Amino acid sequence: MKTKSRFKIFRVSSVLFILLFVNQLITAQQTYEFPFQNPALTVDERVNDLVGRMTIEEKISQMMNGAPAIDRLGIPAYNWWNECLHGVARAGLATVFPQAIGLGATWDEDLIFRVSTAISDEARAKHHEFVRNGSRRIYQGLTFWSPNVNIFRDPRWGRGQETYGEDPFLTGKLAVQFVKGLQGDDPKYFKTIATLKHFAVHSGPEPERHSFDAVTDERDFRDTYLPQFEMGIKEGKAYSVMCAYNRYNGETCCGSSSLLTGILRTEWGFEGYVVSDCGAIDDIYRGHKVVATSAEASALGVISGTDLECGSAYRNLKESLNKGLIKETDIDVALKRLFTARFRLGMFDPPDMVEYSKIPYSVLDSEPNKALARETALKSVVLLKNENSTLPLKKNIGTVAVIGPNADQTFVLLGNYNGTPSDPFTPLRGIKEKLNGQSEVLYAQGSNWVAGMPNQKPEEELKSEALEAAKKANVIIMCMGITPRLEGEQLRLSIDGFNGGDRTRLDLPDVQQQLIKEIKALGKPVILVLLNGSAIAVNWENENIPAIIETWYGGQAAGQALADVIFGDYNPGGRLPVTFYKSVNDLPDFSDYRMENRTYRYFKGEPLYSFGYGLSYTTFSYSKMKVAKKINSGDTLTVRVKVQNMGKMAGDEVAQLYVSDNSASVPVPIRALKGFKRIHLNPGESKTLTFEVAPDAFSVIDGNFKRVINPGQFIIQVGGKQPLKNSADTESGILKKMITVI
């Protein structure tokens, strides 16, 4: 009886299931005009159905960043171009975090994830507000062309400010978190889509980028220029990559099947889409002259793997088809990748099915996001010098003179690819509000940024005003440096020290140096504050100014953060993500892409300030380093070390782990960062840190240019800075162990 009863129940259940299934099919047929509109189908089924219904003209129209609507299919217009390098950009109000180089200076993976999560919250809120108002224009979509993970190989590159610095490991680790925060963790829908750029081997010169050929050997290519992209794809799961303007070893990056198919898709398993840099398809025939016509360039781009063009050259794909340069199936491959992205963003599903569409507009410029911008600015500040504990200053110090061209200019805080903050804090404003009447604050611009810029006040007049203010002051805070209008993306500027967005010298412009020297000659205490996106060779200043602070382009809260640091309400813990060289003469030619004598990994000279460098108002000690003496090839190495705050002030320490290969038979870096942790310690507090060093830390690019584990002896060094002496020497404050990989 029990068996028969169960059978009857099974039969009834089966009938009910079938009836329910049939009912769903009927409902689906009644509800949706086309199958691709049905959210119950898989993304592949929906994409295949949609693309199969499109004419060739419609297909081609969707392969450029400004994709028009297809009304007969109910496909709305979409512009793929949006930016969020350090906040949602170019679309009005948004929280503006420190420029990317400042994010790099935080050395804080968790912070970067929180920052990008806040950015993607604001991005979703803004996008849906635009759509509600019937607007689908440029800078309003959900596909973002960030982060820039190119290596800042030379401080002269004007766009280096957009990167996380000169090290592949640090860049890759931060990029992974930035990508994860942008794309979210929903198994079905992307929150937004992140784009790793510019692939590959791209870092100036800016004036020549549309025709330049970056040449390297395979070892530098694999060991320096690729790892951070690979990490962003394999670990971060970035769904988009932007190909670069330049050629690499003779092949245009947006027309390179070896880059876009061989490495991205075959080696790394990339499943997303590739977008060209803006105008890069035109460059294939106009700048690089690899082919003769736009139709040929467009065909080469698509066949090589560039699915989407920023520009309009792909309009010529119909001509490419007619001439037999490309097949419609090639276009279909690219188009399906693009519509897969749009479906996975939830653009064709009811909003209530997509949790991210419910993010309220009130998240924009919210108090939590403002607080996060301030925290990030604080963590990006690097204390470069503090002779005789000049800092922090007392708030009742008397009269404070704030002097310099960067003291009260909002645009300097914002870097490039920026949004518009509602309430930005310049250094002057931050200092005034911090002191709040406890000390008098005087202000003078002091100088122009550089001689010869248009619409500037006479230098002598500016200098006279500054000297007058300085004479009345008990302490002088000088806010100097450069601006995003001097260093940046292909700027129309040629002036002493700057050319086309790049720099031609590393020191401060002459007018600023002269002002600093005359102010210092007054015999008053001077604090030098640098605002900039790249390393500055402050050699004289390092010898003569007692305190120097690096603040980068610190975002909307830069002035608050600076005041917090100067007056002791925050203990600086940022670290340099780039080497500060003493002179441009220390470097190879700017257009030489070989890594020899570049970055801390290969530089054999003495830097002004080293990669990983940064001071604190307290001191930290390292002890009890534990590590195995031998490990097997392919094993992960566990390193433990105790860190203690030995001072009287709470603060952040950035513990850094470097590996040096003592046995390599091929060229290898002098040392390479392979682990880092930013921690907060109260006075007297200690923590034991554990580093898990991946097996590839003990690998080399061999004679066949393949990455292989290299058995032999390696030196592991851990401390709060990079070891500057020969890796075989012992340096104060840095723990060292020799291990053998067998």
Residue 426 domain flag: yes
pLDDT of residue 548: 98
Average of pLDDT values for 437-450? 97
User: pLDDT category, 731, cuts 50, 70, 90?
Assistant: low
The tens digit of pLDDT for each residue in 521-578 reads 999 999 999 999 999 999 999 999 999 999 999 999 999 999 999 999 999 999 999 9
Residue 396 domain flag: yes
Residue 135 domain flag: yes
Distance in angstroms (rounded) separating the CA atoms of residues 269 and 371: 38
Average of pLDDT values for 722-735? 68
- Asked whether residue 242 carries a pLDDT value surpassing 70, the answer given is yes
Q: Is residue 172 a contact partner of residue 232, using CB atoms and an 8 Å limit?
A: yes
Tell me how many degrees the CA angle 340-343-345 measures, rounded to the nearest 5. Answer: 110
Q: Is residue 591 a contact partner of residue 205, using CB atoms and an 8 Å limit?
A: yes
List the structure tokens of 591.
């257009």
The tens digit of pLDDT for each residue in 630-689 reads 999 999 999 999 999 999 999 999 999 999 999 898 999 999 999 999 999 999 999 999
**Does residue 277 have an active-site annotation?**
yes
Q: Are residues 689 and 635 in the same domain?
A: yes
The tokens 């460059």 sit on which residue? 283
Q: Where a domain ends, among 363, 392, 414?
A: 363
Identify the H or E element spanning 155.
none
| Coil, strand or helix at 692 | strand
Could you tell me the maximum CA-CA distance found in the chain, to the nearest angstrom?
Answer: 107
**Does residue 166 have an active-site annotation?**
no
Give me the CATH number covering residue 724.
2.60.40.10
The tokens 């060209």 sit on which residue? 276
- Asked whether residue 330 carries a pLDDT value surpassing 90, the answer given is yes
The tens digit of pLDDT for each residue in 254-309 reads 999 999 999 999 999 999 999 999 999 999 999 999 999 999 999 999 999 999 99
Average of pLDDT values for 18-46? 73
pLDDT of residue 2: 45
List the structure tokens of 269.
């398993």
The tens digit of pLDDT for each residue in 199-229 reads 999 999 999 999 999 999 999 999 999 999 9
- Asked whether residue 26 carries a pLDDT value surpassing 60, the answer given is no
The tens digit of pLDDT for each residue in 307-322 reads 999 999 999 999 999 9
Q: Are residues 653 and 676 in the same domain?
A: yes
Query: Going by C-beta distance under 8 Å and a sequence separation of 6 or more, which residues neighbour residue 523?
Result: none
Distance in angstroms (rounded) separating the CA atoms of residues 671 and 568: 35
User: pLDDT category, 706, cuts 50, 70, 90?
Assistant: confident
- Check 277, 375, 550, 661 and give the catalytic one: 277
Q: Are residues 376 and 359 in the same domain?
A: no
Average of pLDDT values for 20-41? 70
Q: Where a domain ends, among 299, 334, 363?
A: 363
Q: Are residues 352 and 480 in the same domain?
A: no
Distance in angstroms (rounded) separating the CA atoms of residues 389 and 386: 5
Q: Are residues 583 and 689 in the same domain?
A: no
pLDDT of residue 588: 98
Q: Are residues 218 and 346 in the same domain?
A: yes
**How many angstroms separate the Cα of 159 from the Cα of each of 164, 241, 254, 493, 583?**
11, 18, 20, 14, 19
Q: Is residue 303 a contact partner of residue 274, using CB atoms and an 8 Å limit?
A: no
> DSSP class of residue 198?
E
Q: Are residues 21 and 48 in the same domain?
A: no
Q: Are residues 194 and 254 in the same domain?
A: yes
- Check 83, 121, 230, 487 and give the catalytic one: 487
The tens digit of pLDDT for each residue in 451-495 reads 977 767 899 999 999 999 999 999 999 999 999 999 999 999 999
Q: Mean pLDDT score of the chain, rounded to an integer?
A: 94
Q: Is the pTM of this model over 0.75?
A: yes
Residue 612 domain flag: no
Check residue 164 and give left, alpha or beta (phi > 0: left; psi -120 to 50: alpha): alpha
pLDDT of residue 380: 98
Q: Which of 572, 516, 512 is nearest to 384 (CA)?
A: 572
Q: Are residues 110 and 179 in the same domain?
A: yes
Distance in angstroms (rounded) separating the CA atoms of residues 243 and 201: 10
Give me the CATH number covering residue 59.
3.20.20.300
Pairwise pLDDT comparison (723 vs 338), residue with the higher score: 338
Distance in angstroms (rounded) separating the CA atoms of residues 80 and 67: 8
pLDDT of residue 457: 84
pLDDT of residue 20: 41
Total of domains in the chain: 4
Query: Going by C-beta distance under 8 Å and a sequence separation of 6 or more, which residues neighbour residue 625?
Result: 639, 640, 641, 718, 735, 737
Q: Which of 477, 462, 465 is nearest to 430 (CA)?
A: 477
Q: Are residues 6 and 96 in the same domain?
A: no
The tens digit of pLDDT for each residue in 586-610 reads 999 999 999 999 999 999 999 999 9
- Before 200, cis peptide (omega within 30)? yes
Residue 613 domain flag: no
Burial of 724 (0-12, 13-18, 19+ CB in 10 A): middle
Distance in angstroms (rounded) separating the CA atoms of residues 188 and 273: 17
| Coil, strand or helix at 70 | strand
Q: Where a domain ends, among 538, 572, 602?
A: 602
Q: Are residues 499 and 598 in the same domain?
A: yes
Distance in angstroms (rounded) separating the CA atoms of residues 385 and 379: 17
Average of pLDDT values for 708-717? 94
Average of pLDDT values for 348-370? 97
Q: Are residues 88 and 165 in the same domain?
A: yes
pLDDT of residue 4: 47
Residue 567 domain flag: yes
Residue 700 structural domain: 620-741
Residue 614 domain flag: no
HSE-CB at 342 with a 13 A cutoff on CA atoms is 25
Residue 610 domain flag: no
Q: Is residue 601 a contact partner of residue 595, using CB atoms and an 8 Å limit?
A: yes
